[in-house]
């Protein structure tokens, strides 16, 4: 199963990123979500109740983030196991960019199912997946539209300079050391 699309979010790119990585916002916007717990900066545990292809069950799953480049992009790896012998696994590439006073969220999702879900056929599972994504973005856009727009955070400060290029005295010291070594080898050897 493969789904690729993009959504326009009515908020700044950094606010959109922050919301997409906030467990409370995710729990509020994911359809049928019972809980989202952030285990680490790149790992989430998710419990949700979904009816996919006529199979209504609870899913316990994990979402892992990799290739994280806040607030621009990341790759998600997800796995969900249903109590009714169902399995869903996959990856999603998510890219954020500023567009028209808001944020464009482009995503490409590739997934597979196993167990009873796989028996339903890819067409039904694809349709259910598209419906879940549509409901998520409807709730997410409504949530973000209600949030006040905040200016982006200031860029991180420049790291202090390092190396010899920062001081003319550094170069003078290097030249002096070379001259001393050259003199020693020229006159005393």
CA atoms within 13 A on the CB side of 20: 27
What structural domains and CATH numbers belong to the chain? 2-146 (3.30.530.20)
Residue 9 class from Cβ within 10 Å (0-12 exposed, 13-18 middle, 19+ buried)?
buried
- SS3 percent helix, strand, coil of the chain, rounded to 5, is 35, 40, 25
CA 9 and chain centroid, separation: 16
pLDDT at 9: 97
Task: Report yes or no: 55 and 113 within 8 Å, Cβ to Cβ.
Answer: no
Give the count of beta carbons closer than 10 Å to the beta carbon of residue 72. Answer: 12
Residue 34 CA to residue 9 CA, distance in Å, equals: 24
Where helices occur in the chain by DSSP H, the ranges are 13-20, 23-29, 116-119, 122-145, 168-187
Burial code (b: 16+ CB inside 10 Å, e: under 16) for 103-122 equals bbbebebebebeebbeebee
- What's the chain's average pLDDT? 86
Strand partners, 5: 107
pLDDT of 136-173, one tens digit each?
A: 999 999 999 999 988 777 777 877 766 555 566 666 66
pLDDT at 171: 62
What does the pLDDT average to over 174-183?
69
What does the pLDDT average to over 62-77?
96
Size of the chain, expressed as the number of residues it contains: 189
Strand partners, 183: none
pLDDT band at 17 (very low <50, low <70, confident <90, very high): very high
């Amino acid at each position: 199963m493969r789904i690729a699309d993009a959504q326009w979010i009515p908020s700044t790119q950094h606010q959109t990123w922050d919301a997409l990585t906030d467990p409370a916002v995710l729990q509020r916007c994911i359809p049928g979500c019972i809980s989202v717990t952030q285990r680490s900066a790149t790992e989430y545990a998710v419990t949700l109740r979904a009816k996919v292809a006529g199979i209504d069950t609870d899913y316990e799953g994990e979402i892992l983030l990799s290739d994280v480049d806040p607030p621009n992009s990341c790759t998600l790896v997800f796995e969900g196991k249903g109590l009714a012998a169902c399995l869903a696994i996959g990856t999603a590439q998510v890219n954020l960019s500023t567009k028209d006073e808001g944020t464009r969220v482009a995503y490409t999702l590739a997934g597979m199912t196993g167990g009873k879900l796989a028996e339903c056929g890819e067409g039904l599972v694809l349709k259910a997946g598209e419906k879940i994504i549509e409901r998520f973005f409807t709730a997410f856009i409504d949530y973000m539209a209600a949030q006040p727009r905040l200016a982006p955070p200031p860029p991180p400060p420049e790291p202090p300079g390092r190396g010899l290029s920062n001081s003319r005295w550094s170069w003078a010291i290097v030249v002096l050391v070379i001259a001393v070594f050259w003199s020693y080898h020229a006159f005393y050897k």
